[in-house]
Amino acid sequence: MKLTGKRVLVTGADGFIGSHLTEHLVRLGCRVRAFVFYNSFNSWGWLDESPAEIKAELDIFAGDVRDPNGVRRATEGCEVVLNLAALIAIPYSYHSPDTYVDTNVKGALNIVQAARDLGVERVVQTSTSEVYGTARFVPITEEHPLQGQSPYSASKIGADQIALSFHNSFATPVTVIRPFNTYGPRQSARAVIPTIITQIAGGARTIRLGALHPTRDFSFVEDIVRGFVAVAEAEACLGQVTNIGSGFEISIGDTAKAIAEVMGADIEIACDKERLRPENSEVERLFAGIAKARERCGWTPEFAGLDGFKRGLKRTVPWFLDPENLRRYKPERYNI
């Protein structure tokens, strides 16, 4: 199946990955309905910053993925649904776990229920590498055990299983994409890379972070967007989970050094206890196994390895350095 020409619903279209994906789909020739979170300001999130020619092509639907009636209305007439709507901040999930069940689990149920009833051709459920918890083996393949080390990761495990259960129970054409840590322009400061960049850009040279030793598999947003399209189009991905990552791991401490190098800054790193996860909740190691992405849908990362990571950072840092973008962030405050 090719997405070009299809009517595609993107939930979470107003967010970081969702806005990049929405713009990419429009450029592919898809007819995109962008599901944005309803608010009284009539804000479309990051889509407000999209080029005028992109916005002119969008069918905007403002709603809430927790509302089954709104989800059904948004799904009507769509052939493909890409579900990116979710609460994603891990620290906030310690504070308000109920909201993660409502948005992530119930939201996924609303999506697949509507897709089943309306005969949608393809549903892509967005997962996260956090569902694996600390790696028991590396690279982490799709067969790795699932470990709910935070309320957030537990809610995403539930969402994935709800989606896959509809494939198994009702033959709903569901596939699950499991991106590892994504970075790039527009990412919120709840993620570590924008946290580091905005502190340096704001003039700090003592950078406040949490644990420095955990490793992550960082993937540039353009690779992730291509992954969504590849997984959505591949018949071999139906009923399956597919990892999308860079196949490369780097510690948080070394990530900060790499960013400082790209920004030409001399920094020191200070541990901020407020930013530490509870001991048993910290995911110590993430390193993606991506062989199945190559086998099932021919996807490979273009920003792989340390060299690719630095190339991605060089594409990311200038966006944050733009004063119009930097003013949206509060680097002096910890954003949960």
Residues 206 and 108 grouped into a single domain: no
In a domain, 134, yes or no: yes
Residues 138 and 208 grouped into a single domain: no
The tens digit of pLDDT for each residue in 231-282 reads 999 999 999 999 999 999 999 999 999 999 999 999 999 999 999 999 999 9
Count of domains for the chain: 2
Residues 162 and 19 grouped into a single domain: yes
Q: CB-side exposure of 34: number of CA atoms within 13 Å?
A: 28
Residues 212 and 154 grouped into a single domain: no
Residues 29 and 154 grouped into a single domain: yes
In a domain, 224, yes or no: yes
Kindly state the tokens that stand for 164.
């896959």
Amino acid identity, residue 154?
A: A
Task: Give me the CATH number covering residue 165.
Answer: 3.40.50.720
In a domain, 332, yes or no: no
Residues 47 and 143 grouped into a single domain: yes
In a domain, 209, yes or no: yes
> What pTM did the predictor assign?
0.97
In a domain, 138, yes or no: yes
Q: How far is CA 56 from CA 24, 28, 29, in A?
A: 14, 15, 13
Residues 226 and 136 grouped into a single domain: yes
In a domain, 51, yes or no: yes
In a domain, 277, yes or no: yes
Residues 85 and 35 grouped into a single domain: yes
For β-strands 59-63 and 80-83, DSSP reports them as unpaired
| Distance separating alpha carbons of residues 175 and 265, to the nearest angstrom | 43
DSSP string, 62-102: EE-TT-HHHHHHHHTT-SEEEE------HHHHHH-HHHHII
Residues 155 and 198 grouped into a single domain: no
Task: Give me the CATH number covering residue 265.
Answer: 3.90.25.10
Residues 154 and 132 grouped into a single domain: yes
CB 185 within 8 A of CB 221: yes
Query: Looking at residues 19-42, what average pLDDT do you find?
Result: 98
The tens digit of pLDDT for each residue in 137-191 reads 999 999 999 999 999 999 999 999 999 999 999 999 999 999 999 999 999 998 9
Q: At what angle do helices 252-263 and 305-321 cross, to 10 degrees?
A: 60
The tens digit of pLDDT for each residue in 44-95 reads 999 999 999 999 999 999 999 999 999 999 999 999 999 999 999 999 999 9
User: Which domain range does residue 73 map to?
Assistant: 7-181+220-244
